[in-house]
Amino acid sequence: MLLIVLDLKKKRGMIRSVVDQILYFYKALDAAGNEQSGSIKATTQLEGVQKLRAENLYVKKIEPLLDPRFGVAYSKKSHAEAHPFTRLFQSKKVTSKTLMVFIRQLATLLDAGLPILRSLKLLQTQQQEGIFKEVLGELGAAIQSGETFSDAAAHHPQIFNRLFVKMVKAGELGGVLNVVLNRLAEFTEKSQKIKGKVKSAMMYPCIVLIIAISIVSGLLVFIVPKFEKIFFDMLGGKPLPFLTQMVIDSSNGLKNHFVAILASLGAMYFIARELLKKPEVHRVVDKWLYWMPLFGELVRMSSMARFSRTLATLLSSGVPILQALNNARETAGNMVIAEAIKVIHDSVKEGETIRQAMVATGVFPIMVVGMVEVGEETGMLPTMLMKIAELYEEEVDTTVAGLTSLMEPIMIVLLALLIGTIVIALFLPLIGIMSGLQS
């Protein structure tokens, strides 16, 4: 009986190991340098690479092709996508915070003297199940098959943007990958910090506005109809004051067309989201945000800080000026700044200085232009750009604090006016009824 149980367990283990295997398509070079292609079964991409290496094959390309459990082609889909149940509990998106922590940890491990492949494997084991864990495994497999870290990262543009790839490539060429990753980690942390501050400044009035709309909607839907019935019973259909009638009409409109209003708001949201995907609409919105009063100053300062820090980080990492400007344009975050950077790129390509090109755009403040001019003259442009970024980041902190303190009383007054108007409108007929009773 014991032997039967052990045999069954052994067979189950064999079945499980076969079922968990995936069919991978590969291209590889043999010892003579001839290219071979075919398929191989393995549990992971890394295991497939190891099997091919054991056969003295140098792997050029390997990707999932077929999952025997479901008989479906992968075509570069992740292993988790074939699991209809487990994928529901796995993260499909890599957050900025996760990426920031990864870069900092990778830089620390490289500083400690660990090779890039071992560092990636170590960081992969620390990740929770999800897309990022699989991506780290694919990075390790690609590096083990002969690719550079920058080339491997370029295969995942949804996670590693061009700024990351260009900086890593410059670090690899200069033999200072750990230094570049430390700069990239600092840049990512600063960018997240300034982005968080801008969001917090924008978030406060939005939250108060949502609360105000919720309170007013609750009053119109639940409270005003009860007063309307009281007024009808006590006044017998006599005309109500204009303000009271306006509030009652608003209440009836909201109750009778609640679904239509929600549907209209939803449709407006989706239409606006689709329109923002069009470059011409995105450009108009970005220009409005850049030059708008009050919040426009915050947008301008955060954009200047982001541009300066990005360009400084790229230049100090050894990226050529024209490539650095292109990457800074792609990560500008605002179309006004992006278009200005394109003008600078074209002007520098024609032989002009960055300072002359900045003046021609009419976007950059005099202080920024002056500091850039000093940086070009002294050969310390990255240092001066970093000082500009730090200066504007401090200004963003101050502006956010000022806007928050300014918006707080304004939003409270607006909320009080809305609720106060409804209360006064409901009490006007009651005052008239009491005056009639006294007379």
Domain with CATH 1.20.81.30 in the chain: 295-394
Q: For 153-203, give the DSSP string.
A: HHT-TTTS-HHHHHHHHHHHHHT-HHHHHHHHHHHHHHHHHHHHHHHHHHH
What residue spans in the chain does CATH classification 3.10.20 cover? Answer: 20-87
Q: Long-range contacts: 174-179, Cβ < 8 Å, 24+? A: 174/317, 174/318, 176/318, 177/110, 177/116, 177/149, 178/107, 178/110, 178/111, 179/317
Tell me which residue of 174, 136, 182, 173 sits closest to 155, measured CA to CA.
136
Residues 205-245 pLDDT 10s: 788 888 888 888 888 888 899 888 888 888 777 888 899 99
**CA 216 from chain center: how many Å?**
33
Summarised one tens digit per residue, pLDDT across range 5-51 is 445 444 444 434 444 567 777 777 776 667 777 778 887 777 877 78
CATH topology of domain 20-87: Ubiquitin-like (UB roll) (3.10.20)
Q: Taken in order 300, 304, 307, 309, is the CA torsion positive or negative?
A: negative
Give me Rg for the CA atoms of the chain. Answer: 31
Do 227 and 426 meet the contact criterion of CB atoms below 8 Å apart?
yes
The conformation of residue 91, written as its DSSP 8-state character, comes to: B
Phi, psi (rounded to 5 degrees) for 156: -125, 65
| Mean pLDDT (whole number) for 370-395 | 92
The tens digit of pLDDT for each residue in 80-108 reads: 444 444 444 444 568 888 888 899 899 88
Q: Please say whether the structural domain 295-394 has been given the CATH code 1.20.81.30.
A: yes
pLDDT in tens, 300-337: 888 898 899 889 988 988 888 998 898 888 878 788 99
Side chain identity, residue 131 = I
- pTM for this entry: 0.64
Would you say 210 and 129 are in contact if contact means Cβ atoms under 8 Å apart? no
